[in-house]
Structure 1
Amino acid sequence: MSAPNIVWTRIDERLLHGQIRITWGKHTEANLILVANDEAAEGPNAAFMQAGMKASAGGEYAVRFFSIQKTIEVIHKASPKQRVFILCNTPTDVARLVEGGVPITHCNVGNMHFHEGRRQIAKTVSVNQQDIDAFERMVKLGVSCTVQNTPEQTPVNVLELAQVGA
């Protein structure tokens, strides 16, 4: 079994949408977007969620919807020709992937909107303690975690931002 060709991993609460296709997909030269999300893969509204996200992909990418556990189980079966862009909506899900053996080395943090119980650490990123704990777990496992909304922006370490905003 060879290592999967993971070209990008991003956290975005909205999961797959136009900015992913137009900006990040082209920037990373991905040809497969893997939405690793339990709800989108198996939840009661999965078919509806998948239809909207597939439409957002515009036919430019193969799109898969796997639960976190299924991603852990099958990612190493990916063809070397697949340039995989993993998309999650929480840092906890990315941490679960890493802890499950998915060889992620970098996590791009894009959109984590402000909700009750969160504090804003960047224009498009708000976190709670569970999020910070997940980022810390990833960093301990060798994953760099940076906030960068678009490729033109300079990436900033998410934990440094969290400390400044504390």
Structure 2
Amino acid sequence: MIKMLRIDERLIHGQVAMVWSKALGIKRILVANDKAANNYLQTISMKLAVPSNIRFDLQNLSKSIKFLDSPKSESQVIMVVVENFKDALSIAQNVPKIDVINIGNYGLLSVNKHNNKQKQLDTCVKVDDIDLEYIKQIIKLPFQFVSQLTPNSSKKDIKKMKIN
């Protein structure tokens, strides 16, 4: 069971590895990212950030979807972390059992990815027109879709926001 599909361009860090995993009772964290799956140093650094009692996996997007859509994943308590809305949409369209899609930090760490004007969607979420197109598609799916930085911070329902 996927307790949370988190969109966070930092992937694994303290909020995800320690705070969210504890709050949700996570037993496995799966990072679904094509670039990181081929980067040994990034893999090792993320693995070190995850508590020893939680299984950590890093796979490319297609392998992640295949695993998450298999009966093998149903008995596990999993948090999936992706770097962007495009990857979140791919998983959400192919995996029917997701409790919540959560946006953590997005659009703040890097220079404007698509060279488009960015819009502040929430305190820690800046998106551009390309991101908004993916968000509009995610909104149509039957999942709870929120922006929430930590379990103790306020939660905003993305489906109730006016997305232009």
Q: Secondary structure at the match of 1:153?
A: coil
Gaps of 5+ in 2: none
Following superposition, the deviation at residue 81 of structure 1 comes to: 4.1
For 1:108-149, what per-residue CA distance to the aligned partner results, in whole angstroms no more than 9, with x for missing partners? Answer: 111003332322222211011221111221221212221100
Q: Distance in 1 between matches of 2:90 and 2:28?
A: 21
Give the structure 2 partner of residue 125 of structure 1.
Answer: 125
Give the structure 2 partner of residue 41 of structure 1.
Answer: 37
| 1:29 matched to 2:25 | yes
Q: Alignment identity in percent?
A: 25
Q: Is the 8 A contact 1:34 1:66 kept in 2?
A: yes
Q: Distance in 2 between matches of 1:162 and 1:12?
A: 22
TM norm structure 1: 0.85
Please give the root-mean-square deviation of Cα atoms over the aligned residues, in Å. 1.9
Following superposition, the deviation at residue 79 of structure 1 comes to: 4.6
Number of matched pairs: 157
Following superposition, the deviation at residue 60 of structure 1 comes to: 3.0
TM norm structure 2: 0.86
For 1:52, which of 45, 55, 67 is the aligned residue?
Answer: 45
Give the structure 1 partner of residue 93 of structure 2.
Answer: 99
For 2:56, which of 34, 50, 63 is the aligned residue?
Answer: 63
Gaps of 5+ in 1: none
Following superposition, the deviation at residue 92 of structure 1 comes to: 0.8
Q: Secondary structure at the match of 2:95?
A: coil
